[in-house]
Amino acid sequence: MKTILILITGLLCGTCYLIAESPEQFFIQGNEAYQQDDYTASIDQYTQALQEQASVALLYNLGNAYFKNNQPGYAVLSYSQALFLDPMDADARANLAFVREAEGLKAPPVSQLREYSQKLNINTWAWLLTASFWIMVFLFVFQNLFSWQGMVSYSLITLFALCICLSFVGLWGYHLDRNLGVVLGKESPLKVAPTDKSPVITYLFPGTIAVALKSAEDFLLVKTAEGREGWIDKDGFAKIYDPS
């Protein structure tokens, strides 16, 4: 009987621990720390919640905490990742623009393809592509089962084929930006070669957007929106479309 009571007590304690350490609890504790101006503790709580589950609200609050903690590179990264989850989130977009203006950073040029792909998030594009494909297949295979045939059925098949093409274009825009990232460190040196003693081309400010081209040991070859290309320390750069 005593052994059973010990086991039950252990299970209850374990359950309480899991509840206390849930992402929601980390999020709440992060908000409380933020309201007390303890931005370091707030970042720690938000980061722990992020390890369990990413959300727009979490990344948005994390960006706010990073900016208040004088870490603009990480703030730009967090807001950008929030917009990856929801490209139409007005608050994240506004704060991203505010941080860039405050830090003297230029927003990277947005191509028509990127502007189109960001109308929806990547999961929605994938869902539309999959749903349109299977509906088109169903209509094509079983069109004889319906009273309406001929022009109506072919028109519907054409419509969903068009949806497939549009969804693919949206996904392709995200694919092209898969290596887009943010410079995190303060005045990160952009070097000629992937070595510690390599000459420095220039210094990149935190929050600068660049594309990672390839890696070599502890360095990444990146290219900025202005066309500057060089090697940067891996630890000072993070991809936007990789919230993990």
The CATH code of the domain that includes 39 is: 1.25.40.10
Q: Which two structure tokens, joined as six digits, stand for 145?
A: 């089962």
**Do 185 and 96 share a structural domain?**
no
- Asked if residue 72 has pLDDT above 90, the reply is yes
pLDDT tens-digit map of 174-211 = 998 899 999 998 889 999 999 999 999 999 999 999 99
Q: How many CB atoms lie within 10 A of CB 234?
A: 15
Is 74 within a domain?
yes
**Do 75 and 13 share a structural domain?**
yes
Is 109 within a domain?
no
**Do 126 and 63 share a structural domain?**
no
Average pLDDT of the chain to the nearest whole number:
87
Instruction: Name the domain boundary from 103, 133, 158.
Output: 103
**Do 31 and 72 share a structural domain?**
yes
Is 165 or 157 the better-scoring residue by pLDDT?
165
**Do 169 and 189 share a structural domain?**
no
Instruction: Name the domain boundary from 130, 154, 176.
Output: 176
Q: Quote the percentage of the chain above a pLDDT of 90.
A: 69
Can you give the residue range of the structural domain that contains 62? 2-103
Note whether 33 and 41 are within 8 A (CB).
Answer: yes
pLDDT band at residue 109 under the 50/70/90 scheme: confident
Query: End-to-end alpha-carbon separation of the chain, Å?
Result: 45
**Do 208 and 140 share a structural domain?**
no
- Shortest CA distance to 146 belongs to which of 36, 62, 154, 46? 154
pLDDT tens-digit map of 22-47 = 889 999 999 999 999 999 999 999 99
**Model's pTM, two decimal places?**
0.84
**Do 48 and 139 share a structural domain?**
no
Is 204 within a domain?
yes
Q: Measured between alpha carbons, how far is 136 from 199 in angstroms, rounded to an integer?
A: 57
What is the model's pLDDT at position 53?
87
Number of domains within the chain:
3
Is 48 within a domain?
yes
Instruction: Name the domain boundary from 176, 192, 218.
Output: 176
Q: Measured between alpha carbons, how far is 100 from 182 in angstroms, rounded to an integer?
A: 12
Is 108 within a domain?
no
Which value, to the nearest 10 degrees, does the dihedral of the CA atoms of residues 7, 11, 16, 18 take? Answer: 140
**What CATH number is attached to the domain comprising 201?**
2.30.30.40
Is 40 within a domain?
yes
Note whether 59 and 77 are within 8 A (CB).
Answer: no
Q: What is the DSSP letter of 236?
A: G
Q: What is the DSSP letter of 145?
A: G
**Do 77 and 24 share a structural domain?**
yes
